[in-house]
Structure 1
Amino acid sequence: MSQYTPSRQIKDLAFGQQAITIEDILAVANGKMNVELSQSPGFVERIDSGINFLNKLLTKDGVIYGVTTGYGDSCSVKIPLDIVSDLPINLTRFHGCGLGDYLSEAQARAVMAVRLNSLCQGYSGVSWELLDQLVQFINSGIIPRIPQEGSVGASGDLTPLSYVAGALIGEREVYYQGAVLPAKNAMAAEGITPLTLKPKEGLALMNGTAVMTALACEAFSRAQYLSRLCARITAISTVAVNGNPYHFDEILFSVKPHAGQMNAAKWIRLDLNEHEHPRNADRLQDRYSIRCAPHIIGVLEDTLPWLRSNIENELNSANDNPIIDGMGEHVLHGGHFYGGHIALAMDTLKNCVANLADLIDRQIALLVDEKFNHGLPANLSGAAPEQRYIHHGFKAVQIGASAWTAEALKLTMPASVFSRSTECHNQDKVSMGTIAARDCLRVLQLTEQVVAAGLLASLQGLRLREAQRELQLGTLGTSLQAMIHDLCSKIPFLEQDRPMESELRETVQLIQQQYWNLGYDERT
């Protein structure tokens, strides 16, 4: 996610009115939307009934977990009514022990939006003041500073979400207008009064899956873009190694009709523009990293709909405890804070993404090796023949890609199977969903680095073919041509050795910004 900068908003996104999508959360995270609360009668009734029911129970001295009792293993400890109001403040404070790097501003903004949406389902018993405070924070660009480490994914993201709750009451630190400062100072600048948490509200803010779900939204979007980009790089690499374009034939893929696999083959086929400009195939079969690329990319493509379903189901759920059914007047104690679905989604996604890194790494290895690249110079060197003794082209880039791939593959160990018993064995089986999501984002970062290297290497191979008069760029698909021309304007041809770090970093950044409109991106 890019860093949030205050800007004119295109429109407001109403919470409590309709199901929220992954794309909605990312638009809010990146400052492209403001948020507001729905005014629909059904939504207003759900929120009001929850508040009224809780107040009635407190008046009657009802026993409610986390409201009139302690938390977790301390649930048998009854809290005297005269100090019930202090309980949520202490909950936010004793969980203020997160460590590690901080979430980016955009990620933390996404966390607030995800938590707001869960509370707006109307089953958390929170006040309008709390919902309004979250809306004001998001729209004013007051972003809690949230450490990444400290959650086991049940009872939800307690420790990281305590930094959201703490900021709302005027404690902890926030990002505001490009600086880090105490929350109370940013609130004063915006004329916002620190919130006084009602008895259920500390638990409602913290006892859920908002952090892992917010990170999952980002991971899904980045993976979806990488899937399409890897198909494009495969097309470029196929041309660069004089590969067989008929490996992507429509009839061929009709007999093994996985939808995502067929999409990947179609994208490569359209980029090669084989219908308009057929090419001779010198070899019956290319190596697997070319021939089987649709099958590898297709695994991710066919997984994306399932991932979206799980992420958006979690996103649009009430996932704290207890659930307050104000209209039916029930207090329902359960475990909806458990992040198992997000944990599995992220463990699955990081596996699919790491396989993309491995695919592109293998394509780079083909391109640089004169034994396998069918006529390209060793290491894709663009130096004149008499200078090639001392110039090494993409040799070190290939080594770097191999290192990034190895690290990505190492991180595919599923986090969800490493449950730990915590909190006096009350939380004796936990999801590890937040760790899985963080791992997935790291795998995405490493894979984007490999893909950047693959894009530059395949572009170099294409330029070398063109220089050898073995290719006319005008025969390729129009969308691919546009991207190649844009890349050539940004990345000079590698004729003599030069440091490639800045060009790789720029390319990674463009990938993460989803800079190129890749075309042909209809998914069946």
Structure 2
Amino acid sequence: MNSKNTVVFDGQPLTIEAICQIANQQAQAKLGRQPKFIERINKGARFIDTLLKEEGFVYGVTTGYGESCTVSIPLNLVEQLPRQLYTFHGCGLGDHFDARQTRAILAARLTSLARGYSGVRYKLLQQLTELLKQDILPMIPQEGSVGASGDLTPLSYVAAVLAGERDVLYQGQRQPTQTVFAGLNIEALTLKPKEGLAIMNGTAAMTGIACLAYQRAEYLSRLSSRITSLASVALKGNAYHFDEKLFSVKPHPGQNRVAERIRADLQLRRSAPRHDTRLQDRYSLRCAPHIIGVLEDSLPWLRQFIETELNSANDNPIIDAEGEHVLHGGHFYGGHIAFAMDSLKTAVANLADLMDRQMAQLMDPKFNNGLPANLSGAVGEQALLSHGFKALQIAVSAWTAEALKLTMPASVFSRSTECHNQDKVSMGTIAARDCIRILELTEQVAVAVLLAVVQGVELRGNVDSLSPALQNTVRQLREHSPFLSADRALEQELRLCLELSRKQYWELYDSSFPDTTPRSHAPRGNAVQGALRPED
């Protein structure tokens, strides 16, 4: 980790990139220490204490939760209520969020609580920050949230760990929280009346996952552009399908950005003489900018949805300590993240479908313009035995089909629950989990097709005549996966290249190339600034 990179949590807006930096251990979390910030946070907690002394009526503090809000809690039992809340919500199942996802969830919750409208102590924010600093990661089951009233069950595992209970992942091992805290001299918190609800009744699980999904999708857009360029070369495609004048008459910015990437890869210049013998390629080449462009043009508003949610106070009730108001509402509802993730997963699955079709062309001698069947590189008698990428194409079809199957919107499956108090819920966490799975499958497709297009390009020969960018991608891939001259098991190479891809190893369109989405698309009056700061 670069210790000079720090993300400061002080109530100021943060970006998707800041959350991803923490999740990937590329930056350290630091809690703001400005006296005004500390006072703002503690003032909310003191206001709750004042209400208790005055026997005020506050949901989740002096009442039960959800439909049980009509049940008054005697003051002598109020202190027990937070532990009761995270205890009975400890019923999650399924796989646990991985380390990267868990860091993103913790960072998202810390961002929201640092806004200062949740009635928690500065001490609680310190404890959350310490989890990130020490990489003490609550074991959070993925299944059990309907996305309103927030991510109650997943976040109950965060609340319990802050209080020294349940299990954590620490130094690669699952251990009891109590054991880890004792070894590091960390004092477990006794949560105050509003604090259990403040941690749990929010959208941090779905939002943290959405930040990671966004970054992965952004990179996949660029990778699928590069794969399309290589596929065009391998198939002897018509490069003028990406002509600048052609795209000027349909001016979707993201679509044009993709066409510009491919033009640059193919070294296409409008002044160059036309020498293409084929008038029109099949859609998976000709329409690639239009398909990838849907994702590119979605990224700005997806960023707005995700970053606005990230930088919101999204629990209930909202504590306005300055105006001395307790505001009961539904900010825990994850509808914006649900819609963003349902939309993103469809755009990403279409990339899988696009690349699957490109690979189908490459493999079939009826359509690949003279390449050997299945892209076999075998010669002589070995050519009679060789099956090249035949099985890999089958696998690509399987991964694509699974990705497409998961595109059904999760948000339309709202269920009425909890005695019909939660009678319309977002399903945002399920949408985010679906999106991650589709990203995983599409990344698998991309890596497989990358192997295939590079094989196709090399079978054509004249690699030295390619643009420097395409030559670099061929070189990078060949450092990890040699030319397929004879059949071999490809699993380990695929796994390695997949890992590299998820670390954004492939060099795609340098910073001077105009293909990046603007860093912020927050609503007017709420500009989201960069979050990485030099260490104080």
TM-score bin (small chain):
over 0.9
Greater length-normalized contact order (CA 8 Å, ≥ 6 residues apart): 2
Secondary structure at 1:456's aligned position in 2? Answer: helix
Paired residue for 1:183? Answer: 177
Paired residue for 2:505? Answer: 515
Verify the 8 A CA contact 1:140 1:190 in the aligned structure 2. Answer: no
- Tell me the distance in 2 between the aligned counterparts of 1:487 and 1:277: 30
Q: Report the residue type matching 1:504 in the other structure.
A: L
Verify the 8 A CA contact 2:11 2:111 in the aligned structure 1. Answer: no
Paired residue for 1:160? Answer: 154
Verify the 8 A CA contact 1:123 1:323 in the aligned structure 2. Answer: yes
Paired residue for 1:498? Answer: 488
Verify the 8 A CA contact 1:273 1:475 in the aligned structure 2. Answer: no
Q: Does 1:376 align with 2:371?
A: yes
Verify the 8 A CA contact 1:151 1:435 in the aligned structure 2. Answer: yes
Question: Match for 1:411 among 402, 406, 410?
Answer: 406
Paired residue for 2:530? Answer: none
Instruction: Sort the Cα spacing of 1:521 and 1:399 in 2 relative to 1 into closer, same or farther, 3 A.
Output: farther
Question: Match for 1:54 among 32, 45, 48?
Answer: 48
Secondary structure at 2:412's aligned position in 1? Answer: coil
**Superposed CA offset, 1:17-69 (max 9, x none):** 42111110011112222222223454234213212211111110000000000
Verify the 8 A CA contact 2:258 2:515 in the aligned structure 1. Answer: no
Q: Does 1:125 align with 2:115?
A: no
Paired residue for 2:442? Answer: 447
The within-5 A match list for 1:82-481 is 82-275=76-269, 280-466=275-461, 472-481=462-471
Deviation at 1:500, TM superposition (A): 1.2
**Superposed CA offset, 1:214-244 (max 9, x none):** 1000100000000000000000000000000
- Tell me the distance in 2 between the aligned counterparts of 1:442 and 1:193: 37
Deviates more, 1:11-20 or 1:370-379: 11-20
Q: Report the residue type matching 1:441 in the other structure.
A: I
* Percent of pairs with identical residues: 62
Verify the 8 A CA contact 2:476 2:506 in the aligned structure 1. Answer: no
Verify the 8 A CA contact 1:238 1:244 in the aligned structure 2. Answer: yes
Paired residue for 2:19? Answer: 25
Paired residue for 2:7? Answer: 13
Paired residue for 1:469? Answer: none
Q: Report the residue type matching 1:483 in the other structure.
A: T
- Tell me the distance in 2 between the aligned counterparts of 1:184 and 1:225: 39
Q: Report the residue type matching 2:498 in the other structure.
A: V
**Superposed CA offset, 1:166-194 (max 9, x none):** 01101000011111100011111211001
Deviates more, 1:191-200 or 1:275-284: 275-284
Secondary structure at 2:385's aligned position in 1? Answer: coil
- Tell me the distance in 1 between the aligned counterparts of 2:94 and 2:483: 40
Secondary structure at 2:181's aligned position in 1? Answer: helix
Secondary structure at 2:161's aligned position in 1? Answer: helix
Paired residue for 1:482? Answer: 472
Deviation at 1:489, TM superposition (A): 2.1
Q: Report the residue type matching 2:374 in the other structure.
A: N
Verify the 8 A CA contact 2:11 2:115 in the aligned structure 1. Answer: no
- Tell me the distance in 1 between the aligned counterparts of 2:189 and 2:11: 24
Deviation at 1:8, TM superposition (A): 5.5
Verify the 8 A CA contact 2:224 2:292 in the aligned structure 1. Answer: yes
Q: Report the residue type matching 2:87 in the other structure.
A: R
Q: Report the residue type matching 2:160 in the other structure.
A: G
Q: Root-mean-square deviation (CA), in Å?
A: 1.3
Deviates more, 1:219-228 or 1:40-49: 40-49
Question: Match for 1:36 among 17, 30, 39?
Answer: 30
- Structure 2-normalised TM-score? 0.94
- Structure 1-normalised TM-score? 0.96
Question: How many residues are matched?
Answer: 513
Deviation at 1:516, TM superposition (A): 1.6
- Tell me the distance in 2 between the aligned counterparts of 1:341 and 1:14: 25
Deviation at 1:160, TM superposition (A): 0.4
Verify the 8 A CA contact 2:241 2:286 in the aligned structure 1. Answer: yes
Deviation at 1:106, TM superposition (A): 1.4
Unaligned runs of 5+ in 1: 1-6, 467-471
- Tell me the distance in 2 between the aligned counterparts of 1:18 and 1:167: 26
Verify the 8 A CA contact 2:61 2:78 in the aligned structure 1. Answer: yes
Verify the 8 A CA contact 2:150 2:332 in the aligned structure 1. Answer: yes
- Tell me the distance in 2 between the aligned counterparts of 1:278 and 1:103: 54
**Superposed CA offset, 1:112-162 (max 9, x none):** 110011000000000111111001111011110100000000100000000
Verify the 8 A CA contact 1:277 1:475 in the aligned structure 2. Answer: no
Secondary structure at 1:274's aligned position in 2? Answer: coil
- Tell me the distance in 2 between the aligned counterparts of 1:92 and 1:373: 59
Q: Report the residue type matching 1:316 in the other structure.
A: N
Instruction: Sort the Cα spacing of 1:475 and 1:17 in 2 relative to 1 into closer, same or farther, 3 A.
Output: farther
Verify the 8 A CA contact 2:11 2:116 in the aligned structure 1. Answer: no
Q: Report the residue type matching 2:446 in the other structure.
A: V
Deviates more, 1:320-329 or 1:382-391: 382-391
Verify the 8 A CA contact 1:92 1:202 in the aligned structure 2. Answer: yes
- Tell me the distance in 2 between the aligned counterparts of 1:444 and 1:13: 26
Secondary structure at 1:352's aligned position in 2? Answer: helix
- Tell me the distance in 2 between the aligned counterparts of 1:217 and 1:439: 14
Instruction: Sort the Cα spacing of 1:301 and 1:146 in 2 relative to 1 into closer, same or farther, 3 A.
Output: same
Q: Report the residue type matching 1:440 in the other structure.
A: C
Q: Report the residue type matching 1:523 in the other structure.
A: T
Paired residue for 1:4? Answer: none
Deviation at 1:483, TM superposition (A): 1.7
Verify the 8 A CA contact 2:261 2:515 in the aligned structure 1. Answer: no
Secondary structure at 1:389's aligned position in 2? Answer: helix
Deviation at 1:521, TM superposition (A): 5.5
Q: Report the residue type matching 2:495 in the other structure.
A: R
Secondary structure at 1:148's aligned position in 2? Answer: strand
- Tell me the distance in 1 between the aligned counterparts of 2:273 and 2:109: 53
Unaligned runs of 5+ in 2: 518-536
- Tell me the distance in 2 between the aligned counterparts of 1:81 and 1:33: 43
- Tell me the distance in 1 between the aligned counterparts of 2:159 and 2:240: 57
Q: Report the residue type matching 1:479 in the other structure.
A: A
Q: Report the residue type matching 1:188 in the other structure.
A: A
Verify the 8 A CA contact 2:318 2:326 in the aligned structure 1. Answer: yes
- Tell me the distance in 1 between the aligned counterparts of 2:167 and 2:328: 33
Verify the 8 A CA contact 2:229 2:262 in the aligned structure 1. Answer: yes
